[in-house]
Amino acid sequence: METRVIIIGAGWTGLAAAKTYIQLRPDVSLTIIDEDSSIGGVWTASRVYPGFIADSTAAIFDYSDFPMDAELGVDKWSDLPAERVHAYLEKYVDKFDLRRRCRLNTKVVRIEKSEGAKEKTTMWKVEVEAKSGDGEIVKESLTCDKLIMATGINSTPNLPSDIDWSTFDGPILHSKDVGTKHHLLTSESVRRVTVVGGNKSAVDVVNICALAGKEVDWVIRKEGYGPGILFEARTHRIHIGAIEAIRATSIPSPNIFSSTGFWYWFLHSGKSKIGSRLQRWIVAKLSESALEEYEGSENTMKIAPDMKK
């Protein structure tokens, strides 16, 4: 009897899991389910908009068995537009014959686990709601022997619950919807935009609105560490990613996949007082260097991360 596998999520992880499983078990019956209308997860076609670029380059943002620079014809260290990232994932799907296994516009609404009566086998029942061509919702129950969750953490909008949205008459949208509704932000009828949040998606929205000539209010809650760190992508024409990719650069960075050897013992295990002090000194110097980027003006200091907490 063939093994039936369902993967929920058609982003980076879901596609890699599907490709790997099929390579190991070519006879498997595998289905990839995703609520969106295209593959890609956070890089799906519906999230792409003009001017949106990845914060990494092709050299450090691709699958090891599918080099992005060669497939897309881009420089390893050049800026990487979001539409090229999506195009790369589309090519990956076709390269490894995953498209026919994808069920898009399909939302998982319930998952149940049951133990089979014979041989104590485990079965999964996955209830889904699929959109038909005419927009009708069709309910269906799928079963599988193995279930892989690859839904990620960046696909469910998180709107502040302590804001009374009913008092505002203008358009309200989450950063997830900017790809399909960016025209609302750049419209001539819009003069002022308020962005709530402090991480990359907020920076992207602030940037697109500022470039469109809008007056932008950027609101970040007092709790936490303020906005994410911003820094120049290139130093003396060398991309910061090229520096980070050097093996020696990774030594001071803790990694759950690297918990053996001298450098782990010396810097990260806490067993060496000298190593622990050196590690704290390195982090402090990096923090100071990052903050120097903000000291150019009073306005940039307003969005400096809070390193004191």
Q: Where in the chain is the domain with CATH 3.50.50.60?
A: 4-149
- Burial environment of residue 128 by CB neighbours within 10 A (0 to 12, 13 to 18, 19 or more): buried
pLDDT band at 119 (very low <50, low <70, confident <90, very high): low
pLDDT at 225 over 80: no
Q: How much of the chain, in percent, has pLDDT values that exceed 70?
A: 96
Model confidence band, residue 255 (pLDDT cutoffs 50, 70, 90): confident
> How does DSSP assign the chain, residue by residue?
---EEEEE--SHHHHHHHHHHHHH-TT-EEEEE-SSSSS-GGGSGGG--TT-B-SS-GGGSSBTTB-HHHHHT--TTS--BHHHHHHHHHHHHHHTT-GGGEE-SEEEEEEEEEE-SSTT-EEEEEEEEEE-TTS-EEEEEEEESEEEE---SSSS----TTS-GGG--S----GGGHHHHHHHHH-TT--EEEEE--SHHHHHHHHHHHHTT-EEEEE--SSSS-SPP---SEETTEEHHHHHTSGGGGTTS--TT---SHHIIIIISS--HHHHHHHHHHHHHHHHHHHHTTTT-HHHHTT---TT-
183 within 8 A of 161, measured Cβ to Cβ:
no
Which of the residue ranges 5-19, 109-123, 139-153 has the most confident prediction, judged by mean pLDDT? Answer: 5-19
Q: pLDDT tens digit string along 261-297?
A: 999 999 999 999 999 999 999 988 888 888 888 888 8
Q: What percentage of the chain has pLDDT greater than the value 90?
A: 53
Chain-centre distance for alpha carbon 39: 13
The confidence score (pLDDT) of residue 62 equals: 92
117 pLDDT more than 70: no
Q: Residue 279's CB: how many other CB atoms inside 10 A? A: 19
pLDDT at 116 over 90: no
The β-bridge partners of 222 are none
pLDDT of residue 206: 92
Task: Write the pLDDT tens digit of every residue in 56-96.
Answer: 899 988 999 999 999 999 999 988 999 999 999 999 999 99
- pLDDT value, residue 194: 93
- Look over the chain and give the mean of its residue pLDDT values, rounded to a whole number: 89
pLDDT at 68: 95
166 vs 89: which has the higher pLDDT: 89
- What is d(CA 228, CA 177) in angstroms, rounded to the nearest whole number? 21
Please report the pLDDT score of residue 309 as a whole number. 55
Assign domain 4-149 to its CATH architecture.
Answer: 3-Layer(bba) Sandwich (3.50)
User: How confident is the model at residue 215, as a pLDDT?
Assistant: 95
Read off the pLDDT of each residue in 165-175 and give the average, rounded to a whole number: 86
Task: Identify the pLDDT of residue 17.
Answer: 97
